[in-house]
Structure 1
Amino acid sequence: MDHNRDMSLFKQVKNDDNNAFRRLFQKYFPPLYIFAKKFLEEEAAKDIVQECFFNLWKNRKKIELTTSLSAYLFVIIKNSCCRQLKELNEKNCRTDGFLLNLKEEECQYYIQSEKSILEFDIRDRAIQVLNKLPDNCHRVFCESRFNGLSNKEIAEKYNISVKGVEKHISKALKLFKEEFRDIINF
Structure 2
Amino acid sequence: MKATSPATNNLRKKDSIPGLDIFEKAYRDYFTRLELYAASILAEDEATDVVQDVFLYMWNNIEEFTKYSSVYAYLRRMVYCQCVDQIRHNRIAEKYISEQLYVSDSIRNDVDLTVSYRELERIYNNILEEMPPKRRDVYVLQQTTELSLADISLRMNISVKTVDCHLANARKTLRQKLISYQSR
TM-score bin, normalised by smaller chain? 0.3 to 0.5
Relative to total residues, which structure has the larger helix share, 1 or 2? Answer: 2
Return the TM-score normalized by structure 1.
0.42
Return the TM-score normalized by structure 2.
0.43
